[in-house]
Amino acid sequence: MSIRLRLALQFGSILAVTLLLFALVIYFATQQSRRDEFTQSLFKRTLVVGHAYVAGQDDRDNAGEEASYRRYLRQLYRTLPAEQGRVYDAKNQLVFREGQGAARPAPPAWLAEVRREGQAVLEPETNYHETVGLLYHDKRLGPLVVVASSVDEDSRQQLAELRQLLALGFLVAVMAAGAGSWFFAGRALRPLRRMVREVDGITATDLSQRLTRTGEATDEIGLLTQRFNRLLDRLEAAFVGQRTFVRDASHELRTPLTALIGELEVSLLQAERPPAEYRRVLQSTLDSARQLNSLTNGLLQIARASDDPSQVPMAPVSLDDLLLQAHEQLLRRHPTCRVDLDFGEGESFIVRGNEALLLSAVLNILDNACKFSKQTGGTVTATLARTRQHLSLLVSDEGPGLSAADLQQVFVPFFRAASARAVPGHGIGLPLAARIMALHGGTVRVESEPGQGTQVWLEWPVAAK
């Protein structure tokens, strides 16, 4: 079932139920109002019957007046269908009756109730027939119970017409609501159908297309369009990054492999060579293999740093101990590099993270600083600091620095600045550190100017206590 049909059925059902309840309320309210009005008219008839009966008893010796009284009653009681009037004296004896048809005698218990309450209903309206009683006081005749009954034909006819009118109006309203719901549901879903057509045209080979933004930017369709376009932006960036990464990684891997294969092929061209030549070839092959191993380890670390944070084991890590470990390993790689460490005074530098990954990030930053500082013989400074919001590690070197254009691309894998072409490396140190820091909720910030050295900040948010 389509969304359009479901919406039309739901809206139509809601409106149909609402109209049905409204029609029932109108009908039963009208019926109750008619019943109350008919009951009150019967009570008024009992007063007329009582007055007429007492007046007739006062003038009963005058035959002309009594005949006139009888004609008056007959004219009166013909005004309501099947109307009857009865009068009971103080002994509950029927002393007067007017009307057609047989009348059942009033139960003594009900007559007692009328005398006690002043008025009562013997038969609540059933099939539009009702009987009521009223206590009528007369000084000469004593307390009389006047009973009146009739059939409410007017209400029967008018309520039947009302039922027909409500039923017809209900059917017309439901059909109109169904057609309107179908029409407006189609209009509301028109942007979604357009989005489906546009999404069908987007493929993995062409992620540059975007959904057309129509209507209000704050409605649900506009928000959905914005979110989907942002998703396409991220997917396009991821695909471009993946293609760039594969291209650059393939190029970087091909370089040591080409050198290694070339050295081995040259060494096999001659049957015999001096031992020194073989040693040179083996040393060159070993250097290429080490370079290849270093590059492969860096690529694996980048892949690991891109994992889901929930799948990476985390534990409290002391940054000052981590910095000491990185310093120790750095001196094995660069024994002549001078690194000054500043741990602050009495500060606690505990973060939650993966120690191996954080050690790799810190070591890559220090390694870059040492490699570039060797050219100028400068000193590398590593400073731990703490603020209310962040824990930070600042690594400063006295190298050649970076231009503004190069600074914008330092986090692109395998990018090498012009000033770094003579320095061994693969251009994955900073991108790897940035991914590791992002995995831990931290950031990497770089500032540099040509000839002024480079400053790199690693920043972690302070965990709430």
- Residue 196 lies inside a defined structural domain of this protein: no
| Cβ pair 103, 123 in contact under 8 A | no
H helix or E strand, kind and range, residue 132: strand 129-138
Question: Are 315 and 288 in the same domain?
Answer: no
How many angstroms separate the Cα of 338 from the Cα of each of 134, 230, 400?
119, 46, 17
Question: Are 80 and 26 in the same domain?
Answer: yes
| Among candidate residues 217, 167, 224, 218, the one with its CA nearest the CA of residue 196 | 224
Compute the half-sphere exposure of residue 17: CA atoms within 13 Å on the CB side of its CA: 5
Q: Which two tokens stand for residue 429?
A: 């140190």
Question: Are 150 and 17 in the same domain?
Answer: yes
| Distance separating alpha carbons of residues 373 and 338, to the nearest angstrom | 9
Q: Which two tokens stand for residue 152?
A: 């409410």
Q: Which two tokens stand for residue 430?
A: 């900073």
Tokens 């059942």, residue? 104
Q: Which two tokens stand for residue 416?
A: 């090498």
Q: Of the candidates 159, 180, 198, which is a domain's last residue?
A: 159
- Residue 21 lies inside a defined structural domain of this protein: yes
What string of H, E and C letters represents the secondary structure of 280-306? HHHHHHHHHHHHHHHHHHHHHHHHHHC
Q: Please give the average pLDDT of every successive group of 10 residues along the chain, which has 465 residues.
A: 78 87 91 86 82 72 53 56 81 80 78 87 75 85 86 85 90 87 80 78 72 67 79 76 64 67 75 75 76 66 59 81 87 84 77 83 86 76 86 87 78 64 64 81 87 87 66
How high is the pLDDT of residue 253?
66
| Cβ pair 83, 150 in contact under 8 A | yes
Question: Are 14 and 112 in the same domain?
Answer: yes
Q: Which two tokens stand for residue 137?
A: 């006081």
Question: Are 336 and 402 in the same domain?
Answer: yes
DSSP string, 389-406: SEEEEEEE--S----HHH
- Residue 74 lies inside a defined structural domain of this protein: yes
How many residues appear in the chain? Answer: 465
- Residue 340 lies inside a defined structural domain of this protein: yes
How high is the pLDDT of residue 425?
59
Q: Look up the CATH number of the domain holding residue 371.
A: 3.30.565.10
Question: Are 292 and 316 in the same domain?
Answer: no
Q: Which two tokens stand for residue 85?
A: 């009037």
Q: Look up the CATH number of the domain holding residue 128.
A: 3.30.450
Q: Of the candidates 288, 304, 320, which is a domain's last residue?
A: 304
DSSP 203: B
| Distance separating alpha carbons of residues 461 and 390, to the nearest angstrom | 5
How high is the pLDDT of residue 278?
73
| Distance separating alpha carbons of residues 33 and 162, to the nearest angstrom | 14
Q: Of the candidates 304, 338, 369, which is a domain's last residue?
A: 304
| Cβ pair 181, 173 in contact under 8 A | no
Tokens 């109006």, residue? 169
Q: Which domain holds residue 262?
A: 220-304
Tokens 């409290």, residue? 316
Domain count for the chain: 3
Question: Are 45 and 84 in the same domain?
Answer: yes
- Residue 43 lies inside a defined structural domain of this protein: yes
Question: Are 352 and 446 in the same domain?
Answer: yes
DSSP string, 354-391: -HHHHHHHHHHHHHHHHHHHTTTT--EEEEEEE-SSEE
End-to-end Cα separation, the chain, in angstroms: 52
Q: Look up the CATH number of the domain holding residue 234.
A: 1.10.287.130
Helix, coil or strand: residue 86: strand
Instruction: Give the phi and the psi of residue 136 in degrees, each rounded to 5.
Output: -115, 125
Evaluated on CA atoms 363, 366, 372, 378, the torsion sign reads negative
Q: Which pTM was predicted? A: 0.47
Question: Are 45 and 111 in the same domain?
Answer: yes
